[in-house]
């Protein structure tokens, strides 16, 4: 509920993303499912999370693991039934956890009945729900636009003698948001899910829905905000739902257009500036640059500033499209310590943190070395394309080992038993390296484990208004080993500092960081920040709350 002071429930909540296919398998078919999630709710409740962002569970041919929906009002049979889903909502609710649905409406599956009708005849009412162009004058695709997952963006449909636009893959046909009947259908579907008791929507690549294909403007097209405002009026207004919009194109200049409090659009925008900063300018994620802490801090600081007084940040380092954060930003050698240090600096910023499954036990990248270990259509599509262009398989596999989406899609590691306790069958994708040591049971048995650290951080957000509302101020911005900032509220200040490197380091603290008070986080024992100088072990993290000292 919005209160007089503007407080919303998700300001103090932490989200947890479940990628259903890889979370927990209840029936032994090698794939996670909805009852599997319900069976693990106690783990999530114990962490203290407030909501689950549930990656798609809808009926789907699974070309993109569910981001290709063929029935928006049903559950994929391999994941369960609507009854299973209702049970998940109820059981989660009983533990104070909301279910946030993944809303994938930039495109639907080519197997969706809408598209089947649309492709059968130019006169079908659904025909206009998709984006069609005639062949080029000499035949062939209308132009050379490429799909994100490889190949042409144009799907030839002989029945109607036209090409259909597919931004991602030929299995994912773009919906034409300029058609009012389509929009009405989507809003109706959203209300139907709201009626089942969900807590909100994470909106997949929502910044694409206003695209202008002819002008090749995809992100933040001319009609995007008109459509989001209409969606808000039709579905969201007056309801206490959380809405998170995924946008790869949003910038500091446009962020508040989505999530400014008076805009009537979304609650927060899930932006990727800190991720994109680490990609090669030409080859993108397949040639990631080494992690550059100074550049990373600059991006994070900028976003804290942009959304300091209006809008709201979604805080995350990993998800189902990104590498494991320990492997990308931390150190597999200092696995637990780097998992904890990264979590500390992220969770104590202003915004709503998102934990991606397995992050809370410090899972690492998959460690795949052969192309046949990969399942992701993006990885496989780019592999074929790049090999055809002369890239060596070894070079591609090196990039994939660091940035393929499958790095974070390996089965959740529950225990040291068969298949890490994920399934009694054959897992749909191989397990990540290290699972016999890296699993929930082993981590929980360790008082200095990663789970315990996450539980503490998540509790701090609920208990301490300074974590939710405190003003953010970065320090030591040019230091390539340390991340340091303060949050201040009233007469209190919370100083947060972490060594994000494999070497010890000694730092001279600026006056506002010399806080003397209670150590809320002290991964290597309590240290005195008020002395003005501190030596931190590799991946040591501290957060100290005290009265505001010198300015
Ligand atoms: C989003 C999803 C990603 C998916 C794509 C197309 O980026 O997070 O997994 O492949 O949209 O739906």
Instruction: Clarify whether residues 94 and 124 are in a common domain.
Output: no
Instruction: Check whether 222 has a pLDDT greater than 60.
Output: yes
CB atoms within 10 A of CB 165: 20
Q: Is residue 206 part of a domain?
A: yes
- What angle do the packed helices 224-231 and 180-195 form, to 10 degrees? 40
Of all residues in the chain, the percent with pLDDT exceeding 90 is 96
Q: Is residue 254 part of a domain?
A: yes
Find all residues with CB under 8 Å of 462, minimum gap 6, and list them.
12, 13, 48
**Are residues 322 and 201 both part of a single domain?**
yes
Residue among 55, 61, 62, 64 whose CB has most ligand 1 atoms within 8 A, to mutate: 64
Q: Are residues 130 and 231 in the same domain?
A: no
The answer, yes or no, to whether residue 227 has pLDDT greater than 90, is yes
Residue 134 shares a structural domain with residue 188:
no
Which tens digits make up the pLDDT trace of 320-363? 999 999 999 999 999 999 999 999 999 999 999 999 999 999 99
Closest-CA residue to 50 (of 101, 100, 103):
100
Pocket of ligand 1 (CB under 6 A): 64, 67, 104, 168, 204-205, 320-321
Q: Please give the average per-residue pLDDT across 379-396, as a whole number.
A: 95
Ligand 1 mutation pick, 61, 62, 67, 112, max ligand atoms within 8 A of CB: 67
| C-alpha dihedral (379, 380, 385, 389), degrees to nearest 10 | 80
| The pLDDT value given to residue 363 | 98
Distance 194 CA to ligand 1 centre (A): 22
Q: Which of 124, 153, 174 is the last residue of a domain?
A: 174
Residues 169 and 183 in one domain: no
| Domain containing residue 145: CATH number | 3.90.400.10
pLDDT tens figures, 430-450: 999 999 999 999 999 999 999
> Where residue 1 falls among pLDDT bands split at 50, 70, 90?
very low
Q: What is the pLDDT of residue 286?
A: 87
pLDDT for 551: 47
Instruction: Please tell me the distance from the alpha carbon of residue 143 to that of residue 113, in angstroms, as a whole number.
Output: 27
Q: Say if residue 93 is in the same domain as residue 196.
A: yes
538 near 511, Cβ under 8 Å?
no
Task: Report residue 185 CA to chain centroid gap.
Answer: 26
Lowest mean pLDDT: which of 1-10, 468-477, 495-504?
A: 1-10
Residue with CA closest to ligand 1 atom 7:
205
* pLDDT value, residue 321: 98
Which pLDDT value is given to residue 284?
A: 84
**Number of separate domains in the chain:** 3
Asked if residue 407 belongs to a domain, the reply is no
* Residues with catalytic function: 204, 246
Which residue has its alpha carbon closest to ligand 1 atom 4?
67
Average pLDDT over all residues of the chain: 96
Is 62 a member of any domain? yes
pLDDT exceeds cutoff 90 at 287: no
- Which range marks the domain in which residue 146 is found? 113-174
> Among the atoms of ligand 1, which is closest to the Cα of residue 64?
10
Q: What is the pLDDT of residue 404?
A: 97
Task: Report pLDDT digits (tens) over 174-206.
Answer: 999 999 999 999 999 999 999 999 999 999 999
**Which pLDDT does position 548 carry in this prediction?**
87
Q: Is the pTM of this model over 0.85?
A: yes
| Bridge partners, residue 538, by sequence | none
Q: What mean pLDDT do residues 105-128 have?
A: 98
What distance in angstroms lies between residue 128's CA and the mean position of ligand 1's atoms? 24
Neighbour count for residue 159 (Cβ, 10 Å)? 10
């Amino acid at each position: 509920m919005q209160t007089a002071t503007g407080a919303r429930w998700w300001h103090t909540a932490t989200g947890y993303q479940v990628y259903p296919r890889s979370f927990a398998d209840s029936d032994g078919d090698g794939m996670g499912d909805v009852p599997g999630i319900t069976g693990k709710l106690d783990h999530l409740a114990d962490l203290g999370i407030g909501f689950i962002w549930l990656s798609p569970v809808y009926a789907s041919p699974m070309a993109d693991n569910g981001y290709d929906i063929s029935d928006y009002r049903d559950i994929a049979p391999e994941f369960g039934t609507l009854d299973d889903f209702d049970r998940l909502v109820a059981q989660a609710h009983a533990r104070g956890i909301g279910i946030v649905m993944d809303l994938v409406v930039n495109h639907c599956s080519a197997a969706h009945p809408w598209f089947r009708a649309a492709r059968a005849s130019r006169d079908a009412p659904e025909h206009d729900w998709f984006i069609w162009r005639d062949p080029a004058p000499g035949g062939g695709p209308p132009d050379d636009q490429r799909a994100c997952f490889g190949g042409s963006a144009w799907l030839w449909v002989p029945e109607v003698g036209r090409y259909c636009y597919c931004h991602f893959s030929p299995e994912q046909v773009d919906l034409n948001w300029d058609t009012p009947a389509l929009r009405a259908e989507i809003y109706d579907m959203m209300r139907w899910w709201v009626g089942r008791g969900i807590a909100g929507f994470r909106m997949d690549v929502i910044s694409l829905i206003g695209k202008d294909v002819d002008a090749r403007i995809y992100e933040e097209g001319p009609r995007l905000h008109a459509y989001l405002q209409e969606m808000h009026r039709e579905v969201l207004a007056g309801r206490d739902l959380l809405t998170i919009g995924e946008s790869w194109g949003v910038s500091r200049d446009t962020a508040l257009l989505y999530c400014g409090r008076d805009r009537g659009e979304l609650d927060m925008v899930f932006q990727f500036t800190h991720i994109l900063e680490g990609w090669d300018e030409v080859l993108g994620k397949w040639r990631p640059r080494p992690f550059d802490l100074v550049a990373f801090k600059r991006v994070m600081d900028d976003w804290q500033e942009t959304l300091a007084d209006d809008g709201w940040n979604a805080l995350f380092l990993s998800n189902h499209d990104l590498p494991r954060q320990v492997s990308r930003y931390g150190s597999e050698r200092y696995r637990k310590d780097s998992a904890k240090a990264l979590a500390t600096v992220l969770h104590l910023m202003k915004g709503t943190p998102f934990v991606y499954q397995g992050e809370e036990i410090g899972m690492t990248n998959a460690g795949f070395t052969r192309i046949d270990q990969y399942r992701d259509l993006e990885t496989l599509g780019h592999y074929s394309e790049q090999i055809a262009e002369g890239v060596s398989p070894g070079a591609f596999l090196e990039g994939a080992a660091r940035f393929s989406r499958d790095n974070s899609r390996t089965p959740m590691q529950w225990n040291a038993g068969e298949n890490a306790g994920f399934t009694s069958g054959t897992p749909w994708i191989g397990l990540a390296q290290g699972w016999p040591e890296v699993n929930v049971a082993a981590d929980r048995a360790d008082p200095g484990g990663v789970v315990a650290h996450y539980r503490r951080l998540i509790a701090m957000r609920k208990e301490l208004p300074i974590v939710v509302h405190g003003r953010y101020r970065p320090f030591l911005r040019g230091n390539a080993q340390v991340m340091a900032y303060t949050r201040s509220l009233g007469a209190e200040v919370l100083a947060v500092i972490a060594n994000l490197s494999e070497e010890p380091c000694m730092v001279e603290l600026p006056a506002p960081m010399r806080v003397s008070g209670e150590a809320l986080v002290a991964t290597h024992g309590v240290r005195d920040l008020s002395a003005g100088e501190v030596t931190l072990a590799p991946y040591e993290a501290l957060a100290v709350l005290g009265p505001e000292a010198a300015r």
